[in-house]
Each structure stands twice: as C-alpha cells, then as structure tokens.
Amino acid sequence: MNILVAGAVGRGPTELAAFDAALVAAGVADRNLIYLSSVLPPASSVEQVDRIGRTPGSWGDRLYCVMARARTAVPDAQAWAGLGWVQDDCGRGLLVEHDADDEVSLRGLVTTSLDALCRNRGTSFPSRGIAVAGARCTGRPVCALVVAVFQSMAWEPGRRPARAAAPV
C-alpha cells in the first residue's frame, strides 16, 4: 500500500471555510473523510508529496485517512499541524497526528509521541518521517492540515444502510 502524505494551508471567511480551502489545496476535497487510527499495515510505503495529485475515487466516495489539522481566527496567532511516522523494514508502522501554536512545539510533540508509542510496544522502528504545515492568521481565518491518504472506496449502489434497532 502506498500512503501519500501532503500538507496544505487554507484561508477563508470562517474557520470552516479555511479548512475546506486547505482540503482543496491538499487535493482531498469532495470526498467523505473517514479517520483511521494510526497504524500502518505491513508492506506499506509512505511518500511525502506536495499535493495529492489525483485523489483516488470520485465525488462523495469514502477516503480513509489520518489527518492533523489546526485552525485559528485570532489575528497574528499561528496554526500548525503535523503527522509523524515510524516504520520497520517490512513496512509496518505507526502514525501520530498533532497540532500546536508553533512549529517547534509541534515537532516536539510528534517526536515525543512517536517515542512513547514505540516504548509502549517495547520495540523500535528504524525509519522515521515527519510532515508539517503551518501559517499565521493575518486577518482572515487560517487552517493548516497534513493528511495521509490510505484508500478510497465507492459507496455500494443500491445498498441501504442498516436500520437502527427500535427502542425498548
């Protein structure tokens, strides 16, 4: 599995609009984002790219991803988001996502979390990476995000969602 990681910044009239602009800039807009926990399956490769050039699938499909995002509307405040990962020689690994008010703090959080996840498992991973995005609010709300795209899946046509059980 080739997992693409891209960071982006968006601005807009609201924090939500800034988030959407960041999704467009990262190349993952127009999908239903389904957040995964942060485990890389065996035989995975992580590739950092400037933008997800061709997002798998089409409008409204499910996009399985891990994402970090930070947004602010406070003038002169910063928004930083980042993903870090570790992998072994077989491609197994872990991802962590963090946000912070500055890049130095963000990188420290990512490193500390990756170290702790490895300690929790009593193992180490020889390969390590990090991707960050950040911006300063200059009057309009801003959003920084980093997304790791795993897989896209279409909805099954004609299939209806399961009905919830009736209350007793």
Give residue-wise pLDDT tens across range 95-116.
999 999 999 999 999 999 999 9
Q: What's the confidence (pLDDT) of residue 145? A: 98
Q: Band of the pLDDT at 165, cuts 50, 70, 90?
A: low
State how far the alpha carbon of 120 is from the alpha carbons of 92, 114, 115, 124, in Å. 16, 10, 9, 10
Q: What's the confidence (pLDDT) of residue 42? A: 96
| Domains of the chain with CATH codes | 2-153 (3.50.20.10)
- Please name the helix (run of DSSP H) or strand (run of DSSP E) that holds residue 33, with its range, or none: strand 32-35
Tell me phi and psi for residue 33, to 5 degrees. -80, 125
Given a contact cutoff of 8 angstroms between Cβ atoms, the answer to whether 81 and 99 are in contact is yes
Q: Band of the pLDDT at 23, cuts 50, 70, 90?
A: very high
Q: Band of the pLDDT at 90, cuts 50, 70, 90?
A: very high
Q: Region 42-61: what's the mean pLDDT?
A: 88
- Residue 5 tokens read as 């990681």
Is the per-residue pLDDT at 159 higher than 60?
Answer: no
Q: What's the confidence (pLDDT) of residue 53? A: 80
Q: pTM of the entire structure?
A: 0.88
Q: Band of the pLDDT at 161, cuts 50, 70, 90?
A: low
Tell me phi and psi for residue 118, to 5 degrees. -65, -45
Q: Region 49-77: what's the mean pLDDT?
A: 91
Residue 38 sits at the vertex; the CA angle it makes with 21 and 87, to the nearest 5 degrees, is 110
Place of tokens 């795993």: 150
